[in-house]
Amino acid sequence: MIRLVRIELLKIRTARMSFGLLATAAGMTALIAVLDAARAGGKFTPPLSSSEGLSFVVTITGFALLMALIMGIIVSSGEFRHRTATLTYLAAPGRGRVLAAKVLASFGAGLVFGAAGAAAADAVGLAFAAGRGFSIAVGTATLARYGAGSVLAGGLLAALGAGIGSLVRSQLAAVVGALVWCLLMESILGGVFGSLSPYLPFSAASTLGGARLGGGDIGFFAASPLQSLPFAGAAALLAGLAVVVASVAAATTGRADIT
């Protein structure tokens, strides 16, 4: 099993796609953070001198988390798109073990995406606050908690993505479906059925990184009066969903003929 995970990690490390997604995650996170930090203190955003305003900027990691999810999808669905699944299963006949290795490798890679997003948001938020002569209103422990949450959320979403990619197989359909769900469907469901908001996977991942519920930095999110899930609850929700999706994929499409 360890050997399979190492092989999958090698695939991820040597694919230009991985670095392209990572660069996009960090770059877009920094850009969104700059835009929000620049307008902090306006009509709709608290000033960076307040803990609420600075927290809003340093928790803008939603785009990085979305890229982690897409990376996980591509890790699994890429085998079917490039028709390498046959060779992979000939080398390692246990399809369930291969899928588990992809999920674990994606989790590890997703941690990097979460860390990149947190680092970019922190750098922008703290730089803007210092540049305007404000004291840092958010403590080091809180920043560390936000960063740890973003890192874990990136890993769990990437693991979920690996399960989705294996279940759907079509890379285009899986990626488009993930984008529609994260950017549109969760907003609609959260708006119509407000009590569902804390339990929607991408919303839970965002709050795991410290973002306020209904205050995501990508897509349309309506403010929610509900409390987000606690750290352990959000992590358990994402981990459980990743396990369920991967298990369904292993029991269904994982056994289908690929020739």
The Cα–Cα gap between 124 and 88 comes to 42
What does 156-200 look like in DSSP terms, one character per residue? HHHHHHHHHHHHH--HHHHHHHHHHIIIIIHHHHHHHSGGGGGGS
Q: Are 47 and 40 spatial neighbours (Cβ–Cβ below 8 Å)? A: yes
Residue 188 CB neighbours (<10 A): 11
* Structure-block tokens of residue 168: 């759907």
Q: Average pLDDT in the 48-76 region? A: 91
Q: Write out the residue range of the structural domain in which residue 71 sits.
A: 2-255
The predicted-structure confidence for 92-148, as pLDDT tens digits, reads as follows: 556 677 788 889 999 999 999 999 999 999 999 999 988 888 888 888 999 999 999
Tokens representing residue 158 in the block: 């990437």
Averaged over 22-26, what is the pLDDT?
95
R_g of the chain, CA atoms, integer Å: 19
Please write the tens of the pLDDT for every residue from 192-215: 777 788 889 998 999 998 888 765
Distance CA 74, CA 98 (A): 15
pTM of the model: 0.89
CA 30 to chain centre: 16
3-state secondary structure of 220: coil
Could you tell me the pLDDT band of residue 225, with boundaries at 50, 70 and 90? Answer: low
Q: Tell me the residue length of the chain.
A: 259
> What is the tally of structural domains in the chain?
1
pLDDT tier at 220, thresholds 50, 70, 90? very low
Interacting residues of 91 by C-beta distance below 8 A, sequence separation 6+: none
Q: What is the pLDDT of residue 219?
A: 44
CA distance 174 to 74: 9
CA 240, CA 244: separation in Å to the nearest integer? 6
More confident residue, 177 or 96: 177
